[in-house]
Chains A and B, each alone.
Chain A
Amino acid sequence: MKRDSTIKILVCDNNPILKQAIERVFLEKGSVELRYSLPPEDFLDAYFLFKPDIAIINVEEDGDNAIDALRYIRNQANDSDTYIIISISNSMKNLTYRVLNEGADDFILKPFSEGGEELISRLNVAKRHVILYKQLLIAYNRLSKEIDTVSVLQQKLLPKRQIDFPKIAIDYFYQPSGRASGDYFDFFPVNKNVLRTVIADVSGHGARAAFVMAMVRALVRASDVVLVSLSEMVSLINNELIDVIGEDMDFVTLFIADIDIKQNRLSYINAGHCPGILVDYNNFIELLGADFSVLGFFSQEFHEKSISLKGKKGLLLYTDGYYEWNLDRENIWGFENFQNLVSNVFKNEELFYLDLLEDYLEKSVEIPPMYRDDRSALWVKFNK
């Protein structure tokens, strides 16, 4: 993409009326760079060196020179931005459809009338097009920078790897698919015995998903200051989301758990999120599926479940990006395959960690997985 605000014009035609018209339209005001490429066989070299916004190519003989240049610019150089005008003799008018189909934006017929009124109008169209395109590019770059800022801020909202909490070790993995993601996870102590962990996935991507994610994080983090139960916390999040999201299509899936090292118990609420995977020391896995629906659509009454952690090795939380990717054009890898793979990792390996899961995922299929969504995972290991 061209970023300079100067309009660069490359002309491969030495017609004096065309020269006068170009000078009248483009040189009167504004920042313009004008170059002529004569003879025509040097046109493509000049095009690559100059990178014009507007190219005017004269059609010679059977039109092959212009068609070859058009094909090269549009297909090989993959340039759809340059505004290309073909100047063509009236006797070769039958070629106009062909050059337009090959990627020209406009054509001008020769001989030009004295004064070149039509010629001037068509050059003015090109000028307006290029100015508009440049303005669009500036706006796009501005928005793009905003999204990058959102993405940087969002990454700051994720927790630090190290946590100093007795009997618990946490490993995490985060890979956004775009520049602003809807995935979120966090862990923090709510008192000296209880560690709160959460993983959530906001539907969609981009700034909107990042905004909702930041809102959920702020609400969850409020329990760092004022202790609220899991059910109160999830109710609060659900009600706030209903209020904010309203009738839109966005929603949040969330798995939140309190790990009590004194009571040796896990309390959790799964609201429409992928099943948490609880692993014991015999490497058997237990799925902690969704007892409640996704958040943000309708009121629900949440109740936490409680499980003894006796004999349990750890809890694996993750987002659906781990298993929602295409095996081929028609088939999705799917949750069952992910569950089996996780089960195999635990059975084959003495020590589980998330980079190891990455290795298994890479080897699970012939071609490395083509993930289509953000991926986040938390491995909460309970030390004996």
Chain B
Amino acid sequence: METLDFKIKDGYCLIKYRGELTLDVVEDLKTEILNFLNEHNEKSIVFDLSEISFMDSSGIGFLVHLNNKNRTQNKKLFLFRPSDAVKKTLSLVNLINFFDIVEEEEDIDLREIL
């Protein structure tokens, strides 16, 4: 079953979504996540994708949109421990290097973007 969790950690917003990241859910996810981010001023957003079982092209579009949206607001998005399904899909479309991917919490760079 899909779940979406938000946490405010020391200096960053942690978002975790479990389930399939597909056309069926991205519009609702977009609204919920952007509403949450609008209410919080943390400059780093960490999106935990470790429990994404499948991601389709709409999921890819959603991640890029989220990344671009944050960048324009001077915020930084990190993809945290993306599952193999996410990594494979991002590799196939040659977008894996487009994102900041982190495997450990200490690798999250909290320095503000200039």
A interface vs B, CB < 8 Å? 201, 203-205, 247-251, 253, 271-275, 289-294, 297, 320, 324, 326, 330, 332, 334-335, 372-373
Would you list which residues of chain B between 4 and 63 have a CB under 8 Å from chain A? 23, 26, 30, 53-54, 56-58, 60-62
Q: Does B110 contact A (CB under 8 A)?
A: no
Bound complex: CA A250 to CA B69 (Å): 14
**Residue among B30, B60, B88, B92 making CB contact with A203, cutoff 8 Å:** B60
Q: Does B68 contact A (CB under 8 A)?
A: yes
**Is A203 in contact with B69, judged by CB distance below 8 angstroms?**
no
B22 to chain A, nearest CB (A): 8
Query: Which of A203, A290, A291 counts the most chain B CB atoms within 10 A?
Result: A203
Chain B, residues 72-114, CB within 8 Å of chain A (1/0): the string is 0000000000000100100011110010000000000000000
**Is A248 in contact with B65, judged by CB distance below 8 angstroms?**
yes
Bound complex: CA A101 to CA B93 (Å): 49
B interface vs A, CB < 8 Å? 23, 26, 30, 53-54, 56-58, 60-62, 64-65, 68-69, 85, 88, 92-95, 98
Offer 17 A-B interface pairs, CB within 8 angstroms, sorted by A.
Answer: A201-B57, A203-B57, A203-B58, A204-B58, A204-B61, A248-B65, A249-B64, A251-B57, A275-B92, A289-B92, A289-B94, A290-B93, A293-B98, A320-B56, A320-B92, A324-B56, A326-B54
B67 to chain A, nearest CB (A): 9
A-B CB proximity, top 8 nearest? A249-B61, A203-B57, A272-B93, A290-B94, A249-B65, A293-B94, A203-B61, A294-B93
A335 to chain B, nearest CB (A): 7
Residues on A with beta carbons closer than 8 Å to the beta carbon of B94? 271-272, 289-294
A142 to chain B, nearest CB (A): 23
Bound complex: CA A249 to CA B28 (Å): 13
Residues on B with beta carbons closer than 8 Å to the beta carbon of A326? 54
Closest partner residue, chain B, to A290 (CB atom):
B94
Bound complex: CA A290 to CA B98 (Å): 14
Bound complex: CA A249 to CA B69 (Å): 11
Closest partner residue, chain B, to A326 (CB atom):
B54
Residues on B with beta carbons closer than 8 Å to the beta carbon of A275? 92
Interface of B is mostly: helix
Closest partner residue, chain B, to A274 (CB atom):
B92
Residues on B with beta carbons closer than 8 Å to the beta carbon of A274? 92
A76 to chain B, nearest CB (A): 28
Residues on B with beta carbons closer than 8 Å to the beta carbon of A250? 61
**Is A334 in contact with B88, judged by CB distance below 8 angstroms?**
yes
**Is A251 in contact with B64, judged by CB distance below 8 angstroms?**
yes
Bound complex: CA A372 to CA B65 (Å): 23
B33 to chain A, nearest CB (A): 12
Bound complex: CA A374 to CA B86 (Å): 20
Closest partner residue, chain A, to B27 (CB atom):
A249
Residues on B with beta carbons closer than 8 Å to the beta carbon of A251? 57, 60-61, 64
**Is B57 in contact with A204, judged by CB distance below 8 angstroms?**
yes
Residues on B with beta carbons closer than 8 Å to the beta carbon of A289? 92, 94
**Is B95 in contact with A249, judged by CB distance below 8 angstroms?**
no
Bound complex: CA A250 to CA B61 (Å): 6
Closest partner residue, chain A, to B96 (CB atom):
A293
**Is A294 in contact with B95, judged by CB distance below 8 angstroms?**
yes
Bound complex: CA A378 to CA B61 (Å): 25
With A291-B94, A293-B95, A294-B94 known to touch, is A373 a contact of B64 (CB < 8 Å)? no
Closest partner residue, chain A, to B26 (CB atom):
A249
**Is B65 in contact with A335, judged by CB distance below 8 angstroms?**
no
**Is A249 in contact with B93, judged by CB distance below 8 angstroms?**
no
B70 to chain A, nearest CB (A): 12
Residues on A with beta carbons closer than 8 Å to the beta carbon of B53? 330, 332
